[in-house]
Homo-oligomer: A and B are copies of this chain.
Amino acid sequence: MAQKDTVTAILNAAEELFSERGFAETSLRNITTRAGVNLAAVNYHFGSKKALIQAVFARFLTPFSEQLASELRGYRAQLQDEVPELNSLLMLLPATALRTDKGNPRRLGIFMRLLGLAYTQGQGHLRKYLQTEYSAVFRDFMQLVSAATPNLSNEDRFWRIHFMLGATVFTLSGVDSLTAMAEHDLGKSADITSVVSQLTPFLAAGLNAPP
């Protein structure tokens, strides 16, 4: 097995298991067993469990943030001096996320669950890593959101952005169990793209609500 195979097998297994059980609840033995590699492979290829956790995030986040940065440049160029339209701006995020690994929308749910864990679970090293690594693109995006909502005070916008973030992360991270519930309660099935298309008008309405 070539080196790359082992590394990606570990990353795949870790990604799934972390999202299912959390970081502390997933042992290296769980990961290496599912990946079909030797236990020592993690420490050999990544150095430590912490480094593996960061690598799992980097594998998704680096292509995503690069893609988003380029999309933002295009959006800004097409915009000229007009005020950006909120709905299309918000749609940019799930659109690039789904485009980042096309053909596998399930992965977005997995990654959202990981993102939720990164916030709720301790893992101080992870928050620090994410902040230093990916905050530039996020700031760019926020600047456009500010331009799209000139009627909001900075304070209102600040809070509502985080309300939106919460609704998104929470819903998409639990999208599997939620769609199961929806199917049981309503008899209607749904996938992550349909949930996103329900989510965006909700978010836009909340963000534009009268104070």
Contacts and interface: CB of A to CB of B under 8 A. Distances in A.
Interface centre among A119, A170, A198 (most CB of B within 10 A): A170
Contact of A169 (B158, B160, B170): B170
Given A165-B170, A166-B166, A166-B169, A160 B122 contact: no
A181 to B, nearest CB: 8
Contact of A120 (B22, B154, B201, B210): B22
Tell me how many chains of this kind the complex includes.
2
Interface of A: 20-22, 24-25, 113, 116-117, 119-122, 154-156, 158-160, 162-171, 173-174, 178, 181-182, 185-186, 188, 195, 198-199, 201-211
19 contacts: A22-B122, A24-B24, A113-B120, A116-B116, A117-B120, A119-B174, A154-B186, A159-B182, A162-B174, A163-B171, A163-B199, A164-B167, A165-B170, A166-B166, A166-B168, A166-B169, A166-B171, A201-B209, A201-B211
